[in-house]
Structure 1
Amino acid sequence: MIHLSSLSFLEKEKRSMVALTKKLALINSFSNNTKGIKSVQDILMHEAKSLGCKAVFIKTADEAGFDLNGYPYKKKSGDILKLTMRPNAPFQCLLMGHADTVYPPDSPFQTCRIESDRLHGPGVADMKGGLAVLLKTLEAIERSPNRQSIGWTVLINGDEETGSSASRRFIEKEAFGKACALVFEPSKENGAFIKSRPASANYLFVARGKGAHAGRDFYQGVNAIAPLMRLALDLSSLTSKKKKIQVNIAKLVGGSEFNVVPDRGSLSINIRAFGSKSWNLAKEQTQAAFSRHKRAHPDLEMHLLSERPSKEFDKLQKPLFDTLNKSGALLGIPINLTESGGVTDGNLISAVGVPCIDSFGVIGSGLHTVHEEAHIASFTERAKLAALTILMYADAFYKRRTRSLSIPKAYQKLAWGL
């Protein structure tokens, strides 16, 4: 098959992909470290420019955020690297990744090492290994004889780990109208691709009270933490396996000394639900719980920090997954599908009506911990699967397109080598 010849060079690229991953992982790019995020993006831009694509940075606006005590501040997120090639081609696909990680600059986990067939290091799986795979996927497309009929856009944002609130509108805008999208988040430890994900939202609740001496003026004080504790218990009770709703009480902050009535506190929670019906129910119940507690404590506030819709496996998504299965069969790579409780920018992309597979990154484990690792053998495998899936999906796109046009078959063959 003509596409397979375009992938043969990848057999010798595993070492270069691992080397690039290590180089990126040694740069701290915590979500708040915009300088580190820019350094990662600059390296990716330099690597990609050899393909002849156009590269620009999209500025993201400062956002209103809240610290853990509930005080507002201006939140700065990293900008977005955008790469484009052949934007006027009829077939357009989006490839997506993120440069940020969850490891702060003062984290002790800042180095990489290789043990057996595993690469250990901060962000090697989530998702700097995926970024290396993404670049080789682009190179494979550009080696294809059909490359002139394939246009692609790449977005590398810097706030995925905090909910993509600053980059969301740009992602949705670029995704809209694309034939398909691939996101290079890591797959499951067993190599399974993710077919569906829940919706997710992060909330911050802030309570204001009245400070007082806990002994002599106790009854003149108003405890700000007590209503948050009651609210936390109420929200936690919304968790239901049957309804596919889960509420994580992430953090309760406030107070100072034993003898001081706290005058301020905050509660951070994450809510997830599978399917739009469960998600709507979860949001309704969250709002209802807040309203009940606000009646008893009028100074209580609720702030939605970020939200991602659910990513469902439906008729729109199935053809792209079918193409992935065909690619796996041609390459001799078994394809397995599963659900995940995690969320990605793939949730945003599929919500605007674009077929999307968001686990084309390396096989990894220990994500968001000091045990994070990437399976070295998966680098080549994933690059092959990603490139072949795009090439074959483009084939199907043009076959449908030529069948819908009254063009003699001789010209159809010239146009796309059918």
Structure 2
Amino acid sequence: MSSRIASGLLVGSAIALSAPAHAQITPAEQVMIQSVEASFENDVALLEAITNVNSGTYNHDGVREVGQMLMPEFEALGFDVEWIDQSHVDRAGHLFARREGDPDSTRILMIGHIDTVFEPDSPFQQFVRDGDTATGPGVVDDKGGIVVILSSLRAMQAAGTLDGANIVVALTGDEEDAGDPIAQSRQHLIEAGQWADVALGFEGLSVVDGRDMGVVARRSSNSWTLTTTGRTGHSSRVFSEGSGYGAIYEMARILDGFRTQLPEENLTYNVGFMAGGTPAALGDDNLSAAGSGKTNIIPSDAVARGDLRTLTQEQTDRAVAAMQAIVDANLPGTDATIEFEFSYPPMSPTEGSSALLARLNAINADMGLGEMGIYPPALRGAADISFVAPYADGLAGMGPDGSGSHAVGESADLRSFTRQAQRAAILMSRLAAETPARD
């Protein structure tokens, strides 16, 4: 694993910097390019097959069925395949595929996910192809990413570069809503990250004005629950020393304090929903709230839930401390508490990840493709690669290009599968030929 200082920046990256800046396409790499092109229709057929099986996160049978469809694809490439049951966290499970090569070569972790946001009751269920565009649930996020993974590995096999490679493929079954507790639902992924030198995330490609972009950082995804209380009574006494301000004014003070006191780059803190009254309470699902009361009663309760997204752990700690200080400065006659739930950590930008993008850009130059700039991390959501970011240099956004993820009509540019699989195959082959320095 790469050496890092406390801030999370890489001290030395023999993996990312050891190769020449512009190696030419080799005969083996030309085989990879041609292999991906030749397998295009087969890849589309696989995408159609797995897309037409519903694998919404809570459809455990569907997630397992897609996993069973994928197992022989990896076994045919010489991988040892394991289904890791996750019923103890009320999720279907994860598919891990492992292939051991030269023990001294770069250890590569490829990350994707089987589940989608579309459950069996969604009206959006079927794969539809129109030329080089495919529409269907998960064609980009992330069944398309899985197809890119397999296409790149088949290309390496065709070129003979897979033989010596050390690769673990981790396909989670609950990326869209991770099982709780996170420490258990992500245990195997984190262990794989601790083993790896490099992690590649195969969610969708980021494109700006027709230009492919590199993703070297993603923000965290956390949530908070805010509860305020006040002394209830006749509204004519509101603001008085004996009655105070009530729960709703205290809630408004705190939320406006967040708005005015917290702003900094790459930090957001959305309020998703709220309710106030006498009484007010969260629903059992923590995704709803209800309140009732009268205009002449000082409200006794208010509740709100929201999220918190940060680029670094230091930013998370700083924001949490600032939010807590705002919550604690109560209006007279009120009290407030805030609870945080930390779900997806940030994939912070590092020198090592930027150097990996430079390696990918050297491949782009060799292939005659445009240089990939760095995609703004505030524009990407959280992802499983964030769990391994403290341990391995990483690139995300290695999956296909498309639009409308998480919405009815999600579509993929099928031709983007080709260049993404070619890029990944060449990058992994070059990395696998190297001996990285490890602690």
State the TM-score, normalized to the length of structure 2: 0.76
- Structure with more relative contact order (C-alpha pairs < 8 Å, separation 6 or more): 2
Please tell me whether the aligned partners of residues 323 and 392 of structure 1 are also in contact (alpha carbons under 8 angstroms): no
Equivalent in the alignment of 1:5: 31
Q: 1:179 Cα deviation (Å)? A: 2.3
Equivalent in the alignment of 2:269: 247
Determine what percentage of the aligned residue pairs are the same residue: 23
Please tell me whether the aligned partners of residues 60 and 167 of structure 1 are also in contact (alpha carbons under 8 angstroms): yes
* Residues 317 and 224 of structure 1: CA distance in aligned 2, closer, same or farther (over 3 Å): same
Equivalent in the alignment of 2:117: 102
Between the aligned partners of 2:229 and 2:43, the Cα distance in structure 1 is 51
Q: 1:125 Cα deviation (Å)? A: 0.8
1:41-190 equivalences under 5 Å are: 41-60=67-86, 62-63=88-89, 76-86=90-100, 89-91=103-105, 92-162=107-177, 165=182, 166-189=184-207, 190=210
Between the aligned partners of 2:232 and 2:55, the Cα distance in structure 1 is 39
* Residues 151 and 271 of structure 1: CA distance in aligned 2, closer, same or farther (over 3 Å): same
- 1:136-158 Cα deviation digits (max 9, x unpaired): 12222222323332111111112
In structure 2, the residue corresponding to 1:89 is in which secondary structure? coil
In structure 2, the residue corresponding to 1:159 is in which secondary structure? coil
Between the aligned partners of 2:312 and 2:365, the Cα distance in structure 1 is 30
* Residues 290 and 186 of structure 1: CA distance in aligned 2, closer, same or farther (over 3 Å): same
- 1:298-348 Cα deviation digits (max 9, x unpaired): 684514151312421x22223322221122122222231222322222222
What amino acid maps onto 1:187 in structure 2?
Answer: L
The Cα RMSD (Å) is 3.4
Unaligned runs of 5+ in 1: 64-75, 215-219, 405-418
Between the aligned partners of 1:238 and 1:161, the Cα distance in structure 2 is 31
Equivalent in the alignment of 1:70: none
Between the aligned partners of 2:414 and 2:128, the Cα distance in structure 1 is 12
Between the aligned partners of 1:87 and 1:77, the Cα distance in structure 2 is 32
Moved more, 38-47 or 290-299: 290-299
Please tell me whether the aligned partners of residues 344 and 384 of structure 2 are also in contact (alpha carbons under 8 angstroms): no
Count of matched residue pairs: 380
What amino acid maps onto 1:80 in structure 2?
Answer: H
Between the aligned partners of 1:112 and 1:289, the Cα distance in structure 2 is 49
Please tell me whether the aligned partners of residues 214 and 357 of structure 2 are also in contact (alpha carbons under 8 angstroms): no
Q: 1:177 Cα deviation (Å)? A: 3.4
Q: 1:224 Cα deviation (Å)? A: 7.5
1:221-240 equivalences under 5 Å are: 231-238=254-261, 240=263
Which residue of 371, 375, 381 maps to 1:335? 371
Q: 1:238 Cα deviation (Å)? A: 4.9
Please tell me whether the aligned partners of residues 360 and 427 of structure 2 are also in contact (alpha carbons under 8 angstroms): yes
Q: 1:6 Cα deviation (Å)? A: 3.3
Moved more, 114-123 or 293-302: 293-302
- 1:265-318 Cα deviation digits (max 9, x unpaired): 753311122345433321222333344469966684514151312421x22223
Which residue of 386, 391, 403 maps to 1:365? 403
Unaligned runs of 5+ in 2: 1-25, 236-242, 275-287
Which residue of 267, 284, 296 maps to 2:321? 284
Between the aligned partners of 2:198 and 2:384, the Cα distance in structure 1 is 14
In structure 1, the residue corresponding to 2:125 is in which secondary structure? coil
Equivalent in the alignment of 1:345: 384
* Residues 39 and 299 of structure 1: CA distance in aligned 2, closer, same or farther (over 3 Å): farther
Please tell me whether the aligned partners of residues 205 and 301 of structure 1 are also in contact (alpha carbons under 8 angstroms): yes
State the TM-score, normalized to the length of structure 1: 0.79
Between the aligned partners of 1:295 and 1:181, the Cα distance in structure 2 is 52
